[in-house]
Chain A
Amino acid sequence: QAAPRGIEHDVDGGKQDLFDINEDAGLDLFEGDILFDEKLGRNS
């Protein structure tokens, strides 16, 4: 039975996972969420 719907605040803004969040934030990190470190000796 459906109940009346009041005010609802979506804390996720519909973004499903962290890669959506990072993409939305304009981040283009190594593999989505990894800090690039020169000591690794590789780049993307």
Chain B
Amino acid sequence: IIGEEYRWPRMVPYYLEDDLEINAKGVILKAFEQYRLKTCIDFKPWSGEQNYISVFKGNGCFSSIGNRRVGKQTLSIGSGCDRLATVEHEFLHALGFWHEQSRSDRDDYVYIDWDQITEGKEHNFNKYNDSVSSFLNVPYDYGSVMHYSQKAFQSGSEPTIITRIPDFKETIGQRMEMSQSDVRKLHTLYHCNKGGSSTFLDSCDFETENICGMIQVSGEESRASWQRVSSAPGGPDTDYTQTGRCAGGGYFMHFSAVEPESSSQLESRFLYPKRGFQCLQFFIYNSGDSSDRLRIWTREFDLHDSNGTLRFIQEIYAPLSDAWHIQHVSLNTSKKFRVLFEAVAGKRTLGGLSIDDLNLWEGSCPEHVWRIRGFSGVMENTSVDSAIYSPRFTSSLGYSFQVSLYPNGTGSNPDELATFLHLTSSDDGDDENDDGLVWPAQWKQMSVTMMDQNPDIRQRMSNQRSVTTDPNMKLDGSEGFFWDDPRKVGELVTGEDGSRYYRGPGAGTKVFLSRPRALSRNFIKNGDSLFLLSMDDLSHLVAPQPLPSSTVPPPQTGSTVTGSPENRTTTVSSTSGFTNATTSTTTAIPASSSSSVTSITNSTLTTIPPSSSVSSSTEPPTDPCVSLQCENDGVCVLDEANLPVCRCAAGSDWWFYGERCEFRSSTHNLIVIAVISGVCVFVVMLMASGVTTYLCVRRQKRRATLPADWLF
């Protein structure tokens, strides 16, 4: 929408109303993380700002367009709206975006079949001329998260929107994440080019010769080194970025050693963290020996330490395999740092280790990865209404869980992949930490993400769905609780390895992702698909979000929708726990006990955490900078007294200043001030000169007119 008055500040204040479902609260926080990762838009709990977004559970999913400047601006995440893409969609509305097909140029790209629209619903297909709505010089995007699907508001079975490029017919109206053009428009609208995103650090697919500014350090005596190659003797034959699809492209970094036990180090460029916890993700291939390993270090720099201090993070033994494997490593540094990859050769010198598609961001790593090899074949060869099951994974919270997937859909939705999440328990009750588990499980959010394997995390449009264990949820027609111990409410099943365990009832969706969309983008790469799985504890979101201590929320105005949340009191809750970040990171390796499907392997690699120097915490470390919100892309750092201070953004001729970088100045301002000062001085001097001259002249005249005798 055109008009600066509709813009929010880049740090958007929000209030999660108490009527929201707990799962919705968790999904909203996950959506905020995506905004932080991909754009310069950030969100903060409302602390008394004049305008803020109040997210509540209305009767449906809806939002206003842009900042209406009404104080409390409502945005509804009702029942069924608690999907990542839906939340991103509604917040894009709030940030000032219309639907994609309402652009002034939409008729060049889609054909609206008015005869197929339900009578009275034609208003949903408005379009706006370019004096009201700007497409910000970004081409029409069939893949926008703001686009209707082809069946929107249809009266019969025929589509209401027909794409003029047929290839997009099945994929418009995607229910995945923001597209690259959505992100680009957001960047333009909010001038993100000056600061970049909040939590992204680096991405490298090694396609360019400068290898993203990485540097190599090898011992003088060593004849081993990292090399940028497009294939390596013994494998891999192709990289992971392009998987051999482009002649003349497709590079990765390969380490091969001439001597056993030799090593070489590859260091990233300098990185400047803001948060204190990061996730490093990359793909690894081992064509050497099972004793080859990759050690991950960080080199951290203090103010007066130019050489940096090495900190050992993790050692990874990649299995000998004919495939690339995804790997996650959790980091927790608050200082300027580099990431260091040290490859160490094993006993043999043939082949070696390779890495590709590296991403580093300030967020939590997914806990587990379920890799399905030959996924296209699995989709083709699995009958409708047939599920395949992941191995059992043990979360850092102690609960074990499992995903069921219907690759060819269910009877009621045969064109949609369906997925459900189940808690599990061992038959003999010897699960680790089993004794300490609380049943029914309380507010544990399980998330399954089908990963878009684009090499750059900022361009991924993954598909995610989460469910949260409500301890009060009943089983249909029973007094039992849905999320109770699977030994009570589940069924006894036998895994592929013969182990027996109980699988609890599942919660999930029959419309996880349509088949055409699953076959689009990079959901399947090298034939494989990756499902990222996590379990987060949302107990801290059960309590109301604290209200600002001295501010009573202003009354809501300007909206015509009913169903606003209950009136809240001004009592300040003593509970805490509302943070900007999602919780739970871990380097733990899943206990993959079994799988009922032979074509599925668990891709997680064997890793050996160091004994003392690596944080094995499952929570992000406490960050002193949480208490200090730097504005305008300022970076919070710790000073010598370990106190958080803002380091403000600056350009060649401008800079921010102030305790929170809240003020802006520039050389232009200084020039203006200098010119004005100069002019003022000049005017004052001129006036002084004028007055002096006037007085002198008058005195001369008076002397000239006096009588001669008086003079003597």
Chain A interface size, under 10 / 10 to 19 / 20 to 34 / 35 or more: 35 or more
Specify which chain A residues have a CB less than 8 angstroms from the CB of B385 in the assembled complex: 5
Nearest residue (CB) in B for A18 is: B61
Specify which chain B residues have a CB less than 8 angstroms from the CB of A16 in the assembled complex: 149, 175, 416, 511
Chain B interface size, under 10 / 10 to 19 / 20 to 34 / 35 or more: 35 or more
Cβ B511 vs Cβ A9 within 8 A: no
Cβ B506 vs Cβ A6 within 8 A: yes
Please report the C-alpha to C-alpha distance between residue A5 and residue B596 in the assembled complex, in whole angstroms.
13
Most buried by A among B59, B102, B465: B59
- Known A8-B508, A10-B508, A39-B68; judge A18-B89 contact (CB<8 A): yes
- Known A11-B508, A31-B124; judge A37-B491 contact (CB<8 A): no
Taking CB atoms and an 8 Å cut-off, the chain A residues in 18-33 that contact chain B are 18-19, 21-23, 25-33
Specify which chain B residues have a CB less than 8 angstroms from the CB of A27 in the assembled complex: 59-60, 62
- Known A15-B511, A44-B123; judge A25-B505 contact (CB<8 A): no
Cβ A9 vs Cβ B505 within 8 A: yes
B159 adjacent to chain A (CB < 8 Å): no
Please report the C-alpha to C-alpha distance between residue A33 and residue B416 in the assembled complex, in whole angstroms.
24
Taking CB atoms and an 8 Å cut-off, the chain B residues in 61-116 that contact chain A are 61-65, 68, 74, 78-81, 83, 86, 89-90, 93, 98-99, 102
Cβ B503 vs Cβ A6 within 8 A: yes
Cβ A9 vs Cβ B412 within 8 A: no
Please report the C-alpha to C-alpha distance between residue A32 and residue B80 in the assembled complex, in whole angstroms.
15
Cβ B387 vs Cβ A3 within 8 A: yes
Specify which chain B residues have a CB less than 8 angstroms from the CB of A15 in the assembled complex: 80, 511
Cβ A11 vs Cβ B507 within 8 A: yes
Cβ B490 vs Cβ A14 within 8 A: no
Specify which chain A residues have a CB less than 8 angstroms from the CB of B628 in the assembled complex: none
- Known A11-B507, A33-B90; judge A19-B123 contact (CB<8 A): no
Cβ A2 vs Cβ B383 within 8 A: yes
B440 CB to nearest chain A CB (Å):
14
Please report the C-alpha to C-alpha distance between residue A22 and residue B86 in the assembled complex, in whole angstroms.
12
Set B63, B123, B389: member contacting A35, Cβ < 8 A: B63
Specify which chain A residues have a CB less than 8 angstroms from the CB of B90 in the assembled complex: 18, 33
Please report the C-alpha to C-alpha distance between residue A13 and residue B68 in the assembled complex, in whole angstroms.
33
Specify which chain A residues have a CB less than 8 angstroms from the CB of B508 in the assembled complex: 8-11
Cβ B63 vs Cβ A33 within 8 A: yes
Set A3, A21, A37: member contacting B60, Cβ < 8 A: A21
Please report the C-alpha to C-alpha distance between residue A19 and residue B386 in the assembled complex, in whole angstroms.
29
Cβ B60 vs Cβ A17 within 8 A: no
Nearest residue (CB) in A for B73 is: A35
Cβ B64 vs Cβ A33 within 8 A: no
Please report the C-alpha to C-alpha distance between residue A38 and residue B102 in the assembled complex, in whole angstroms.
19
Cβ A25 vs Cβ B153 within 8 A: no
Set A28, A33, A37: member contacting B61, Cβ < 8 A: A33
Nearest residue (CB) in A for B75 is: A35
Please report the C-alpha to C-alpha distance between residue A6 and residue B490 in the assembled complex, in whole angstroms.
8
Cβ A35 vs Cβ B509 within 8 A: no
Specify which chain B residues have a CB less than 8 angstroms from the CB of A34 in the assembled complex: 62-65, 93, 98
Please report the C-alpha to C-alpha distance between residue A3 and residue B511 in the assembled complex, in whole angstroms.
20
B270 CB to nearest chain A CB (Å):
42
Cβ B99 vs Cβ A31 within 8 A: yes
Please report the C-alpha to C-alpha distance between residue A4 and residue B491 in the assembled complex, in whole angstroms.
10
Specify which chain A residues have a CB less than 8 angstroms from the CB of B598 in the assembled complex: 1
Contact with A along B550-576 (1 / 0, CB 8 A): 000000001111000000000000000
Specify which chain A residues have a CB less than 8 angstroms from the CB of B420 in the assembled complex: 8-9
- Known A1-B596, A3-B389, A4-B491; judge A25-B511 contact (CB<8 A): no
Q: Top 6 closest A-B pairs, CB basis? A: A7-B505, A2-B386, A44-B123, A22-B60, A18-B61, A25-B60
Chain A residues with a Cβ under 8 A of chain B: 1-19, 21-23, 25-40, 44
**Would you give 21 A-B contacts (Cβ < 8 Å), ordered by A?**
A2-B386, A2-B387, A4-B491, A5-B385, A5-B387, A6-B490, A7-B475, A8-B505, A8-B507, A9-B508, A10-B509, A11-B507, A14-B412, A19-B149, A27-B62, A29-B62, A31-B99, A31-B102, A32-B153, A34-B64, A40-B65
Given contacts A3-B386, A12-B83, A37-B559, 15 further A-B contacts (CB under 8 A): A3-B388, A8-B505, A9-B420, A16-B511, A21-B60, A22-B61, A32-B124, A32-B152, A33-B60, A33-B93, A34-B62, A34-B64, A34-B93, A35-B560, A35-B561
